[in-house]
Amino acid sequence: MFNQRAWATALLDSSEGTESLEEVAKRFFLLLVKKKRVRHIISVMDEVKNILDKRSGIIAVYLEYALPPPEEFEGSIKEMIKKRTGASDVEIVGKENPELIGGYRLRVGDEIIDASIRGQLRKMEKSLQIATRECPGGDGVN
- The 10s digit of each residue's pLDDT in 91-111 is 999 999 999 999 999 999 889
For the chain, domains (ranges, CATH) are 4-54 (no CATH), 58-134 (3.40.30)
Q: Is residue 64 within 8 Å of residue 103, measured between CB atoms?
A: no
pLDDT band at residue 41, thresholds of 50, 70 and 90? very high
Task: Return phi, psi of residue 111, to 5°.
Answer: -90, 135
Task: Return phi, psi of residue 135, to 5°.
Answer: -75, 130
Measure the N-to-C terminal CA separation of the chain; round to a whole number of Å: 57
pTM over 0.85: no
Mean pLDDT calculated for residue range 63-78: 92
In a 10 Å sphere around its CB, with 0-12 CB exposed, 13-18 middle and 19+ buried, how is residue 109 labelled?
A: exposed
